[in-house]
Structure 1
Amino acid sequence: MKEYKASTTIQASPERIWAVLTDGGSWPQWDPSCDKIEGRIAPGEKLKAFTKLSPGRAFPVKVTEFVPNQKMTWTGGMPLGLFKGVRTFTLAPQGNGVEFTLHEVFSGPMLALIGGSIPDMTSAFQGFVAGLKSRAEKPG
């Protein structure tokens, strides 16, 4: 198993954060690692994520969990679970804001072969949560 995680406290309502998260077209404006998101971020939808970490390569995922204002999960990988990536976006209201967590776990029998080609996503995850925080906390 290989995993990456980043969290931050965002001074905005869960509804505001959710609106930013589910507007895939705007991601390149605030996520420093995102080139574009193709598809509609909604329950059961298939998306293609394009990142600056792997230019020109599409990462197909499916929205496998969608609980508005609380949690969303994207799942991708190879058939038969040979390699799987599960990215979870979690919003947990705190006293004076929302604790937002981005967490991705890679697993499966092919991880040993594929794992070395997965770039270190630590700074990308930190950039994502910082960008989301900045965007969600902006007035309007």
Structure 2
Amino acid sequence: MPSYQTSITIDASPESIWQILTTVVAWPRWLPTVNSIEPLDGDTLAIGHRFRIRQPKLQPATWVVSKVEPNRRFEWRASSPGVLMVADHVIESLAPGKTSAFLRFEFRGVVGSLLGLLFSSTTQRYIQQEAASLKAAAER
């Protein structure tokens, strides 16, 4: 299954990055790859909570939080017939005031494999832009 990933070192604490990363309703303010996020179950990032996300050049998708490890990781998933998309966000302290952010996006399923190939360049560009935007937001 197609999988895309990137990592970036950020001059900020894991806690401050976590705050930015998990306040998903604020993403459109600092993340150019997201037009809007509509919380469907409250704006808290909690397992089972759903968020309707609109992105440039993509169809709107409803993402469901599937994993949360406070100050370290969250994962969410979106699906439609034949497609499962998984986005993972991991942060790890490297040294005081220095943190690594790792982002991964996977396409799964019969149709997901095809979509992953069709949207390969867009997905890779978006994930790299998201990492760079997170770094800029955290280092402000």
The reply to whether TM is greater than 0.5 is yes
Relative to the length of structure 1, the TM-score reads 0.86
1:49-93 CA-partner distances (Å, limit 9, x unpaired): 111132xx31111000011110000111136xx321110000011
Relative to the length of structure 2, the TM-score reads 0.86
User: Which aligned pairs between 1:1-140 and structure 2 lie closer than 5 A?
Assistant: 1-39=1-39, 40-43=43-46, 44-54=48-58, 57-78=59-80, 82-96=82-96, 97-115=98-116, 117-118=118-119, 120-138=122-140
Partners of 2:16 and 2:60 in 1: how far apart? 28
Aligned length: 134
* Matched-pair contact (CA < 8 Å) for 1:9–1:98: yes
Structure 1 residue 100: deviation in Å? Answer: 0.1
* Matched-pair contact (CA < 8 Å) for 2:67–2:74: yes
* Matched-pair contact (CA < 8 Å) for 2:2–2:117: no
Gaps of 5+ in 2: none
Gaps of 5+ in 1: none
Partners of 1:127 and 1:105 in 2: how far apart? 17
Deviates more, 1:116-125 or 1:23-32: 116-125
**Percent of pairs identical after alignment?**
28
* Matched-pair contact (CA < 8 Å) for 2:30–2:137: yes
- Structure 2 vs 1, CA of residues 107 and 12 (structure 1 numbering), >3 Å: closer, same or farther? same
* Matched-pair contact (CA < 8 Å) for 1:24–1:38: no
